[in-house]
Amino acid sequence: MKKFIIRIFFITLGAFLAAFAIEGFLVPNQVIDGGIVGISMMISYLTKINLGILLFVLNIPFILLAFQLYGKMFIFQTFYAVSVFSIFVGIVGGKIGIVTHDGLLVAVFGGMILGAGVGLVLKNSGSLDGTEILAITLTKKFPVSVGEIIMFLNIFIYTCAGFIYGWEKAMYSTLTYLTASKVIDVVLQGLNEAKSIFIVSDKNLEIGSNIISQLDKSVTYIDAQGGYSHQKKKMLYCVVPRIELTKLKDIVNSIDPGAFIAIENVHEVDGKRVKKY
């Protein structure tokens, strides 16, 4: 129950932030978001129908569609998120001053606040937009990915925005969407981005012992075989914070300048030695 209450609190906070971004930044400047939210904003602009009502009505079919894909808890939390979001948009709309008319500030700061709100809702197992639900359903019937469907849908939406608002507004809308997407990633994945490293060297045991002693990080040795030489060798794997990557590379290069190093981003680390990764 405690976890559920905390989750509902953050969903509510996320819905409020998204509503504030839309009514304080986007709507007054004729800049839109992607997905169902963007479609609702354009319809509201053309028909003068209350945006909050449109957001709720247009999302209902996708919430019903989600019954086939997700559990009851996700459906409830998404329904709650969409309802609160629609109410907040209705309440906030017209009751706060316009934050700025500068297109770049709208795209950057409006996108950041919108992304933070959407990210909080997603992180707590809810959704404010039915676009992804539609995309997941379509991938079961057509040989395309979720990302491709969302991309094509948003291209269509921003093209329509160009004809309705003008192409400059459409470009600011695209920039807003990209900013929001990046902030959503930060909210979902955090700022503590680590690096996973694979090292192939004939001196991996020495390299590993130095990483343990100098960086106090765990290492794992993996049995491997050379593709050309077919010789058995050890491959070393470890995860370090981004700030210690240079130090690790210095350790490797000082022992074996010819070592092969492959580096990848890691957005989340869990386990007994998380503090030592």
Which of 3.30.70.120, 3.65.10.10, 3.30.1200.10, 3.40.50.2300 is the CATH number of 194-276? 3.30.70.120
Strand ranges of the sheet holding 220-225, from the earlier edge strand across to the other edge: 220-225, 232-241, 194-200, 260-266
Q: How far apart are CA 156 and CA 182, in angstroms?
A: 21
Q: Mention every residue, 6+ apart, whose C-beta is less than 8 A from residue 61.
A: 130
What residues does each domain of the chain span? Answer: 2-189, 194-276
Residues in the chain: 277
Contact 26, 109 (CB under 8 A): no
Predicted local distance difference test score (pLDDT) of residue 95: 67
Rg, the chain, Cα only: 24
Mean pLDDT, contiguous 10-residue spans, the chain (277 residues): 88 91 88 88 89 89 77 83 89 70 88 90 83 76 74 88 90 90 80 81 90 87 82 87 84 91 80 54
Task: Assess contact for 184 and 121: CB atoms under 8 A.
Answer: no
Which pLDDT score is estimated for 141? 77
Look at residue 199 in the predicted model and tell me its pLDDT. 92
Task: Provide φ and ψ at 27, rounded to 5°.
Answer: -55, -45
The SS3 call for residue 82 is: helix
Angle at Cα 61 formed by Cα 57 and Cα 64, nearest 5°?
125
User: Does residue 239 contact residue 224 with C-beta atoms inside 8 Å?
Assistant: no
